[in-house]
Amino acid sequence: MSRRLAARPLLALSLVLAAATPVLAQQTPPTQEAVLAHASGERITRSADVRRYFEALRAANPDRMVIGDYATSWEGRPLFWAAVGSPRNIARLEAIKAATNALADPRRTSPEQARALINDTPAVVWMAYSVHGNEISPADAALAAARRLTDAADAEAQGWLENVVVVFVPTQNPDGRERFINSFEAGLGAEPNGDPLSAERAEPWPSGRFNHNLFDLNRDWFIQSQPETQGHAALIREWRPQVVVDSHEMGTDSSFFFPPEAQPLNPWIYPPILDARERFGRNTAGRFDQAGLDYFTRETFDAFYPGYGDGWPAYFGAVSMTYEQGSSRGLVARRSSGEILTYADTVKGHLTATLSTIETAARDREKLLSDFYAFHRDGVAGGRGAYVLSRSAAADPAAADKLAGLLVRSGLEVGRATAAFSACGQSYQAGDYVVNLAQPHRRMAETLLAKDVPLDPKFLAEQEARRARGLGDEIYDLTGWSLPLLFNVPSQKCAGAPSVQTTAVGPELVRPVAVAGTDAAYGYAIHPGTAGMRFLTAALKEKLPVRSIEEAFTLDGRAYPGGAFIVPRAGAPADLDERVRRIAAASGARVTALATSWVSDGPSVGSDKATAITAPRVAMAWDDPTEPESAGAIRHVLEREYGWPVTAVRTRRLSNADLSRYQVLILPSGGDYERILGESGVANLRAWVQSGGVLIGVGAASRLLTDPDAKLLDSRRESAVASDGDADKKTDKQAAGTEIATDAEYLALTGHHGAPDSVAGVLARAVVDNDHWLGAGVAPELSVMVRGSDIYTPLNRDQGTNVVRLAGPDQVLASGQLWAENRRQLAYKPVAMVSGVGRGQVVAFTQDVTMRAFLEGLKPLFLNAVFRGPAHTSGAGGED
């Protein structure tokens, strides 16, 4: 049941408007048939038509709905939101946002002021739909829900809207949705066919799940690499909702999931949020029982990783939840039981859950707002100490700058020290960053900045028991994601907050640095790192001469690390100085003017150790068998972050394509390349490398490179280590005879002896050979994301170089949950290997070093392969 907000005077801080609401003639909202020529659930509504129907609802009752845009997709489609409420609440939306923002900062809002705000402020309920483009029914459910809420004759709905404002985000991923609908309609026959093999239900690569850039937007929240996520995150920060729902679809045989979630739970989730999820779940269960709909809770979909659309908002104090509906993946589907599931059925499931959520929020409005205020009070009052991020000690200061900006985009307050200071027994410099924990979003700071977020010991014991029985673990996604480790930025949590004065950091990701020195008679020197690489790609696009010195040197009294770049004036355009200043400002690179080329230590800038870098033509495999996320992340890093063009080539065409015009070919992580390429295709790649090409394999693509038949790299993928410590050896003909004497022997015998157990995702410590060109300018130690079960043997010295290898068994784990046998087997194994093949180079990254575009610390390593690699072949040069 809903209740009306108490009418009482507010304090001046409330900012709630008392303006009279104009009385408008109410119209019955139009049906979908009238606007879109199909009923709810009868067809899959296209993205533009979703917007068109919302506009029609607003036109019918403009005092009950407001619509706005928050971003534009990569393909140019507007992303919009629509707020629905009572006429009084719609008239004072800005005041409501001001009130929720005041409740989110108890340092400026006293308990008395908060109580006044709570008494006259509706809860904001955020309903986000279809973040995965092929999860289609949520967006159509949004249409049906919005129509009901804008119907003035619906007394129940209007009662809810006295207590809540509902913000709909109907299509979070319109590009992916259109890709799915296009493939569905292309395969559609005279009538919908629910057969699992029907063409309409079989999506071609890369499927509609991803956005245009092939990113999983549901895992982009704290890195915010995509415009869809950037705009959505900013919108949530503006509104500060108390309830957030992210609506999805899952496998066809499943029913419907809503919270409570499965274990493990992130320990930094505010306990009242978990209690509220239970209340919402119980109400939805009642609604589903009434409607005769099946559902389940707790069995899957944990709440540990903070990068989801239902995870990240929880650390803003929202009761955030994932809803999952079994999908028809079209208009009709036949489940394995023989039951027919229609698209209308799936829309009904999400509509029921949506209305239940609004009903619960309306009933619990006061408690939701009170808990929301208490969450932020807990953040300030419970904050002890600070995280210090050392820009001055970072191998890549630009990565520290980007990290600071990203933290601000996640709602954190970050300060930049104005003077040197001491903290945690260490010395820090002006410019280092301080994240004081006595702030409203302390829990966001803890979960993003802690080196490790522990899993519950009871849950881990259960997983070990499952593994002993040959069952997979129940970890849904990554267990290690510490942003300082991902960015390779030194960080420390201090028990006390430093007393140094700081200036507030903004959301900018690049901090321009002025060019040092004034006399550039010889040219310029550029430090390596992410900013240095941005300078390099821009300089190459402007056809500036660039040399790489891969050993440390001292020039004009300044020390430079290996991997620094030199741009000499000789051979450069006449306006070199203006170009360098402009590129330096845009890239954030550390650039120094050089009056002379005289080197007092290290190789001379004019020696043969100063390697000329030319603009490489880069191709990459695109399509099956590549993993879309890997292909998308690689292309995004090169094209979007570093501005370098890539030719995406359908993988099958690589079998007989003339690759001679390319200097670099990248194989993203993926499945069976040999099946797609065939023997002749692998031979074509090998011949191209032997002629001087640089072949880069990422993640599972290393399986092709290390296949003995490929004759590209002498490393081999390992099987699991047996209990006697030796690698498991099998024959094709006969198994060895055994005797079983104990339960332990039985478990050991029946255990898994194929590949090592899969790892959900941990951050591992790795050591870099900085003397090799691939390691030039890279930090001597890195954090590497390790996932899956692939482990490779190190190369012998006569086979190539293990440029990056994992640390020893006692040091290899940096963050996350790593099974003991994986820890032992991963120790000292290679992450990056290089081998000369003919006149070319083969580079294997055994892990996905561009995963989700959030491994900032590994980007210089990957870019070295692309841009320094061709300089170490005897192949053809780069672009003219």
One domain, residues 703 and 770? yes
Give mean pLDDT, residues 153-178.
98
**pLDDT tens by residue, 409-436:** 999 999 999 999 999 999 999 999 999 9
Q: Which of 613, 647, 662 is the last residue of a domain?
A: 613
Q: Which of 353, 381, 409 is the last residue of a domain?
A: 381
Confidence of residue 5 (pLDDT cuts 50, 70, 90): very low
Residue 874: its pLDDT value, please? 83
One domain, residues 814 and 868? yes
One domain, residues 391 and 372? no
CA 274/CA 375 separation, integer angstroms? 12
- Strand ranges for 595-743 from DSSP E: 599-601, 610-613, 618-622, 647-650, 664-667, 694-698
**pLDDT tens by residue, 831-867:** 999 999 999 999 999 999 999 999 999 999 999 999 9
Residue 757 lies in a domain: no
Q: What is the pTM of this model?
A: 0.93
Residue 592 lies in a domain: yes
Residue 728 lies in a domain: no
CA 312/CA 322 separation, integer angstroms? 12
One domain, residues 290 and 142? yes
Residue 81 lies in a domain: yes
The lowest-confidence range among 119-123, 365-369, 466-470, 748-752 is: 748-752
Q: Give the CATH number for residue 101.
A: 3.40.630.10
Q: Do the Cβ atoms of 252 and 244 come closer than 8 Å?
A: no
One domain, residues 291 and 416? no
One domain, residues 301 and 208? yes
One domain, residues 273 and 418? no
One domain, residues 301 and 375? yes
The strand pair at 78-84 and 164-169 is best described as antiparallel
Residue 9 lies in a domain: no
pLDDT of residue 734 exceeding 90: no
Three-state secondary-structure class, residue 579 = helix
One domain, residues 301 and 435? no
Domain range for 705: 618-720+734-747+766-872
Residue 242 lies in a domain: yes
**pLDDT tens by residue, 474-530:** 999 999 999 999 999 999 999 999 999 999 999 999 999 899 999 999 999 999 999
Which tokens in the block code for residue 493? 């949590």
One domain, residues 364 and 222? yes
pLDDT of residue 203 exceeding 50: yes
Confidence of residue 721 (pLDDT cuts 50, 70, 90): confident
First CA to last CA across the chain, in angstroms? Answer: 72
One domain, residues 705 and 739? yes
Q: Give the CATH number for residue 780.
A: 3.40.50.880
One domain, residues 374 and 394? no
Q: List, in order, residues 6 or more apart from 224 with CB less than 8 Å away.
A: 230, 233, 406, 409, 410
Residue 35 lies in a domain: no
Distances, alpha carbon 723 to alpha carbons 466, 562, 716, in Å: 18, 44, 21
Q: Which of 363, 381, 399 is the last residue of a domain?
A: 381
Q: φ, ψ for residue 314 (rounded to 5)?
A: -60, -30
User: What is the count of structural domains for the chain?
Assistant: 4
Confidence of residue 1 (pLDDT cuts 50, 70, 90): very low
Residue 805 lies in a domain: yes
Give mean pLDDT, residues 331-360.
97
pLDDT of residue 779 exceeding 70: yes
pLDDT of residue 22 exceeding 70: no
* Residue 374 CB coordination number (10 Å): 19
Give mean pLDDT, residues 431-443.
97
**pLDDT tens by residue, 31-74:** 999 999 999 999 999 999 999 999 999 999 999 999 999 999 99
**pLDDT tens by residue, 229-265:** 999 999 999 999 999 999 999 999 999 999 999 999 9
